[in-house]
Amino acid sequence: MSTALKSIRSIAPLLDRVLVQRIKAETKTAGGIFLPESAVKELNEAKVLAVGPGGFNKDGQRMEPSVKPGDKVLVPQYGGSPIKVGEEEYSLFRDHELLAKINE
Amino acid sequence: MSTALKSIRSIAPLLDRVLVQRIKAETKTAGGIFLPESAVKELNEAKVLAVGPGGFNKDGQRMEPSVKPGDKVLVPQYGGSPIKVGEEEYSLFRDHELLAKINE
Amino acid sequence: MSTALKSIRSIAPLLDRVLVQRIKAETKTAGGIFLPESAVKELNEAKVLAVGPGGFNKDGQRMEPSVKPGDKVLVPQYGGSPIKVGEEEYSLFRDHELLAKINE
Amino acid sequence: MSTALKSIRSIAPLLDRVLVQRIKAETKTAGGIFLPESAVKELNEAKVLAVGPGGFNKDGQRMEPSVKPGDKVLVPQYGGSPIKVGEEEYSLFRDHELLAKINE
Amino acid sequence: MSTALKSIRSIAPLLDRVLVQRIKAETKTAGGIFLPESAVKELNEAKVLAVGPGGFNKDGQRMEPSVKPGDKVLVPQYGGSPIKVGEEEYSLFRDHELLAKINE
Amino acid sequence: MSTALKSIRSIAPLLDRVLVQRIKAETKTAGGIFLPESAVKELNEAKVLAVGPGGFNKDGQRMEPSVKPGDKVLVPQYGGSPIKVGEEEYSLFRDHELLAKINE
Amino acid sequence: MSTALKSIRSIAPLLDRVLVQRIKAETKTAGGIFLPESAVKELNEAKVLAVGPGGFNKDGQRMEPSVKPGDKVLVPQYGGSPIKVGEEEYSLFRDHELLAKINE
Residue D62, min C-alpha distance to chain E (Å): 11
Find chain G residues with C-beta within 8 A of F56's C-beta.
57, 63
Stronger pLDDT, A1 or B89, i.e. the higher one? B89
Local confidence band at B93 (pLDDT 50, 70, 90 cut-offs): very high
Residue A103, min C-alpha distance to chain B (Å): 27
Distance CA D47, CA B24 (A): 56
Find chain B residues with C-beta within 8 A of A59's C-beta.
57-59
Is the Cβ of E43 closer than 8 Å to some Cβ of chain F? no
Q: Is A76 exposed, middle or buried (0-12, 13-18, 19+ CB in 10 A)?
A: middle
B2, B3, C26, C27, C29 from C33: Cα distances, Å: 20, 20, 10, 8, 5
Q: Is C24 helix (H, G, I), strand (E, B) or coil?
A: coil
Q: What length is written for chain E?
A: 104
Inform me whether the pLDDT recorded for D27 exceeds 90. Answer: no
Work out the mean pLDDT of chain B and round it to a whole number: 85
Distance CA F17, CA F19 (A): 7
Q: What is the pLDDT of residue D5?
A: 75
What integer is the mean pLDDT of F24-52? Answer: 72
Find chain D residues with C-beta within 8 A of E41's C-beta.
2
Contact A63 G56 (CB under 8 A): yes
Least reliable range by pLDDT among B46-50, C21-25, D35-39, D90-94: D35-39
Q: Are C43 and C22 in contact (CB under 8 A)?
A: yes
ipTM for this prediction? 0.80
What integer is the mean pLDDT of E8-22? Answer: 94
Q: What is the pLDDT of residue B42?
A: 56
Q: What is the pLDDT of residue B84?
A: 87
Q: Which of E42, E44, E71, E75 is the best substitution to test chain D (most D C-beta atoms within 10 A)? A: E44
Touch between chain B and chain E (3+ CB pairs, < 8 Å)? no
What integer is the mean pLDDT of E60-89? Answer: 91
Residue by residue, DSSP assigns G59-79 as TS-B---S--TT-EEE--SS-
CATH of G2-101, one of 2.60.40.10, 2.30.33.40, 1.50.10.10, 3.40.50.12780: 2.30.33.40
User: Which DSSP letter does residue C47 get?
Assistant: E
Q: What is the pLDDT of residue A44?
A: 87
Inform me whether the pLDDT recorded for E22 exceeds 80. Answer: yes
Q: What is the pLDDT of residue G104?
A: 76
Local confidence band at C101 (pLDDT 50, 70, 90 cut-offs): very high
Contact D43 C11 (CB under 8 A): no
How far from chain centre, in Å, is Cα B84?
Answer: 12
Least reliable range by pLDDT among B6-15, F40-49, F79-88: F40-49
Listed in order, strand segments (DSSP E) in chain D are: 2-3, 11-13, 17-22, 45-51, 72-74, 81-85, 88-94, 100-102
Across-strand partners of B64?
none
Q: What is the pLDDT of residue D92?
A: 95
What integer is the mean pLDDT of E16-32? Answer: 80
Closest CA to D100 of G61, G92, F8, C20: C20
3-class secondary structure per residue, E33-67 = CECCHHHCCCCCEEEEEEECCCCECCCCCECCCCC
The amino acid sitting at F101 is K
Inform me whether the pLDDT recorded for E90 exceeds 70. Answer: yes
What integer is the mean pLDDT of B37-49? Answer: 73
Domain A12-101's class?
A: mainly beta
Inform me whether the pLDDT recorded for D35 exceeds 80. Answer: no
Stronger pLDDT, C41 or B77, i.e. the higher one? B77
Find chain A residues with C-beta within 8 A of B61's C-beta.
60
The amino acid sitting at F82 is P
Q: Are F82 and G99 in contact (CB under 8 A)?
A: no
Inform me whether the pLDDT recorded for D101 exceeds 90. Answer: yes
Local confidence band at C17 (pLDDT 50, 70, 90 cut-offs): very high
Work out the mean pLDDT of chain D and round it to a whole number: 85
Distance CA G79, CA B87 (A): 50
- What percent of chain D is modeled with pLDDT above 90? 51
pLDDT tens, residue by residue, C20-50: 999 877 666 666 666 665 555 555 899 999 9
Local confidence band at C11 (pLDDT 50, 70, 90 cut-offs): very high
The amino acid sitting at F96 is H
Contacts within 8 Å (CB) and 24+ apart, G30-39: none
Q: Is F13 exposed, middle or buried (0-12, 13-18, 19+ CB in 10 A)?
A: buried
Q: What is the largest CA-CA distance in chain A?
A: 56
Distance CA B52, CA F101 (A): 53
Closest CA to A16 of A102, A85, A101, A92: A92
Q: Extract the residue ranges of chain G whose pLDDT is less than 50.
A: none
Local confidence band at E6 (pLDDT 50, 70, 90 cut-offs): confident
What integer is the mean pLDDT of A36-50? Answer: 74
3-class secondary structure per residue, C37-84 = HHHCCCCCEEEEEEECCCCECCCCCECCCCCCCCCEEECCCCCCEEEE
- Sign of the C-alpha dihedral, residues F63, F64, F68, F72? negative
Residue E80, min C-alpha distance to chain D (Å): 16
Contact B17 C100 (CB under 8 A): yes
Q: Are F87 and F21 in contact (CB under 8 A)?
A: no
Distance CA B98, CA B16 (A): 11
Across-strand partners of B56?
B62
Distance CA F7, CA F86 (A): 9
Distance CA E41, CA D83 (A): 13
Q: What is the pLDDT of residue E95?
A: 96
Pairing of strands F81-85, B11-13: unpaired
Q: What is the pLDDT of residue G39?
A: 55
Q: What is the pLDDT of residue B29?
A: 62
**Which residue in chain A has the smallest CA separation from G14?**
A100
- First and final C-alpha spacing in chain D: 31
3-class secondary structure per residue, B28-82 = ECCCCCECCHHHCCCCCEEEEEEECCCCECCCCCECCCCCCCCCEEECCCCCCEE
Q: What is the pLDDT of residue F1?
A: 62
B1, D42, E82 from D78: Cα distances, Å: 28, 11, 28
Distance CA E26, CA D96 (A): 36
Is the Cβ of D5 closer than 8 Å to some Cβ of chain E? yes
Q: What is the largest CA-CA distance in chain C?
A: 56
Distance CA B40, CA B28 (A): 9
